[in-house]
Structure 1
Amino acid sequence: MSSEIRFTDFKSDKQPTWCPGCGDFGTMNGMMKALANTGNSPDDTFVVAGIGCSGKIGTYMHSYALHGVHGRALPVGIGTKLANPNLEVMVAGGDGDGYSIGAGHFIHAVRRNVDMTYVVMDNRIYGLTKGQASPTSREEFETATTPEGPKQPPVNPLALALAAGGTFIAQSFSSDSQRHTEIVKQAIEHDGFGFVNVYSPCVTFNDVDTYDYFRDTIVDLSEADHDPTDYDDAKSAILDADKEYQGVIYQDEGSVPFDEREGLTDSMADIPEGAPEDAMDLVREFY
């Protein structure tokens, strides 16, 4: 780990405009600390963000960054990593951005297992658009647009990730700074797609899933009888609807990242000599 890099090196000169008390402050601080603790620097880090309150994070972090369109942050991150494997790529999103319009990209990113990190700020509501129910909102959660609740069960992103073949699935709480940082650090160090769902409370529009609620209900898997390398243990934890878990839920220690699989080149950015002409021949043949 480089002693010259501090998490403050990842802070930009832009002041966050999140609501005071927003969980995204803690989520971002943990991301910056984890990047510094793994020896990364702003010069070798690329942050991609989607749409929503979480989409502002690339502006508030000092690194290479791109603010993508709704639900499309993961394809940008994957393309960046494959084009330049030397970059530390971190994708940030929210529950609306990642598990609604971006759900298809999420599943395929998980199964593709590119060596990158995906951090989702899950506040169980659409915050930027003033408080509609999100994919992870409770079935009875009342909002102005769903006064009697969404009347449908919430998406379980951890279950989606496990079913899609996820090799690193974790959950953290933005207010628990040390544990959140540790978990994101483990996701970065994982050989493959590191997925962290973060409880990141919305203090303005969600008065149900609050800081107090999570502090009172979270069970830390590091203090429980849980083996993150055991698939059945992971499945049991993920499907336990009565618990809010924090920690590494599942990790495949034999994970092989996408770009290291047999038949792929060392760098997807290396174009073999003659490839452009060959490509044009295919175009001519097709038309």
Structure 2
Amino acid sequence: MSGPDRRGWLKAAGASLAGLWLAGCDRLNASPGFTRLLSTGEDLTRRAQRLVTDRKALAREFAPTDISPDFKANGSTDPRDPEYLALKAAGFEGYRLVVDGLVERPLSLSLAELRALPARSQITRHDCVEGWSSIGKWTGARLGPLLDRAGLKPQARYLVFHCADTLDPSAPPGEGRYYESIDLIDAYHPQTILAYAMNDAPLPVKHGAPLRLRVERQLGYKHAKYVMRVEAVDDFARFGDGKGGFWEDRGYQWYAGI
């Protein structure tokens, strides 16, 4: 099977698995055996995908003329959390990004300090699990150099992105906020950035102001908005339900590569 054919087969297989999971049958979802099967399938899909693709291969980039005139926003579009509202009212002047966890030198950076870090601009396509896509230009601090500045400890394996928006108000206080995680392979990908600008303007609130993750070879729900803290960890079992993200805790795949 040729390279493109293999990638197409893997994409179709992953889509089929995701469809089974998201469509969901209550009886199957309640079965520990079925859950283990899905988890095994996801792990196999991730391993297989990385065998046939270069880990540093770039996501396709587009021309300025390809930028979508109306880039769709979904999920949280105007967080009502008091901490976020206070930052928004002040034009995000008091915003600080915290980088901590398994690092040698914990950081607390203002937006001005983030803008002074090694940056990248890219015009890419955002693919949502709901089936739509939009193209936008993103500018932000490259995550790899930021991690080098903090100095990851040897036991660090993942990054957890803590966000300002509560997406599940019915959850206990502090537990309904959005969060996501990626491994260090994706963290050091050259197109993985913490974006503070969109289409050559400050990042709009509906798209995650003041800072959002762009991890361009992942589906849209991995691109965490309203990022407040990046925590380096050895595993993510203690966060949420231990699946690695807000939507992953609710049945989505952790590895959402495209």
TM-score (norm 1): 0.21
Structure richer in helix, relative to its length: 1
Q: Indicate the structure whose relative CO is greater, using CA pairs within 8 Å and at least 6 residues apart.
A: 2
> TM-score, structure 2 length as denominator?
0.23
Structure showing the higher strand proportion among its residues: 2
